[in-house]
Structure 1
Amino acid sequence: MALKLSLKPDEKLVINGAVIANADRRTTLIVHNKASILREKDILQEEDITTPARRIYFPIMLMYMDQGQVDKYYEEFVVRMTEFMNAISTPDAVELCVSISRDVMEKNYYRALMNCKKLITFEKTRLGGT
């Protein structure tokens, strides 16, 4: 099944490590095969890693985009996830952390990222993160 992406004017995305920028008009791309794709809104820069949940998101993002160095990023993920899980006790957040960890173990990095965005939202609403 093909993936259909609608891009806003000047929106960027990364496909298998290549940064693609849309021109001045809305456009639609159709990707017919498996590829690592992240939209601009889903990409964290190092300066954006300001909270514990974002510290979990970042190595998952790197595993997804740079699958040649997964072991390096996985170690960082484990450290950050362990720290986070030791600091929380909310059942929903713990369940989300377990789900993210399972996704990472199964190499389903995109799903792990989308679940980690939920963890970032939890952090914002419950713990006052930014």
Structure 2
Amino acid sequence: MALKLSLRPEEKLVINGAVIANGDRRANLIVHNKASILREKDIMQQEEANTPARRIYFPIMLMYMDPSSSSQYYDEFVLRMTEFMGAVSTPEVLDMCVEVSKAVMDRNYYKALVQCKKVLKFEADRLNLSYSDE
């Protein structure tokens, strides 16, 4: 099944490690095979991994973008997830963390990122931080 992406003017995305920038008009792309794709809004720079949940998201993102080196980032993910789960007592959030961990163990990194966004939202709400998933 093909993936259709609608890009806004000037929007960037990463496909299998290549940074693609859209021009000055809206564009549609259709990807016909499996590829690691992240939109600009989903890409986190290392210096942005500055909260506990963001420190979980970042190594998952790296595993997704570079699956051949995923073992290099896995230990950091485990450490950060363990710290986070030890500090949180909300059952719903702990369930989210379990779902993220399951997806990572299954090497379904995109699903893990989607689940982790729920954890990011929880953290932002709890710490009164701004959070946007748009």
Give the TM-score category using the shorter length. Answer: over 0.9
Q: Match for residue 17 of structure 1?
A: 17
CA distance in 2, matches of 1:17, 1:82: 28
**TM superposition shift of 1:128:** 3.4
Question: Counterpart of 2:11 in structure 1: which amino acid?
Answer: E
What is the distance in 1 between the residues matched to 2:77 and 2:108?
A: 14
Which residue pairs with 2:61 in the alignment?
Answer: 61
In structure 1, stretches of 5+ residues that fail to align are none
1:98 aligns with 2:94: no
Q: Is the 8 A contact 1:51 1:129 kept in 2?
A: no
Determine what percentage of the aligned residue pairs are the same residue.
Answer: 68
- CA-to-partner distance for each residue in 1:16-59, whole Å, 9 max, x for gaps? 00000000000000000000000000000012111100000000
Give the CA deviation at 1:126.
Answer: 2.0
Matches for 1:1-130 after TM superposition, within 5 Å: 1-129=1-129
Alpha-carbon separation, structure 2, partners of 1:87 and 1:22: 41
Q: Structure 2 CA distance, aligned partners of 1:113 and 1:105?
A: 13
Structure-2-length-normalised TM-score:
0.94
Q: Deviations over 1:96-130 (max 9, x none)?
A: 00000000000110010011111000001124345
- Cα root mean square deviation, aligned: 0.9
- Structure-1 separation of matches of 2:21 and 2:118: 27
1:2 and 1:30 in contact (8 A); partners too = yes
Provide the rounded CA distance (Å) in 1 between the counterparts of 2:103 and 2:58: 15
**Alignment: residue pair count:** 130
SS for the counterpart of 1:10 is coil
Q: Separation in 1 of the partners of 2:2 and 2:54?
A: 30
Q: Amino acid of the residue matched to residue 27 of structure 1?
A: A
Distance in 1, matches of 2:110 and 2:55, equals 16
TM-score scaled by length of structure 1 = 0.97
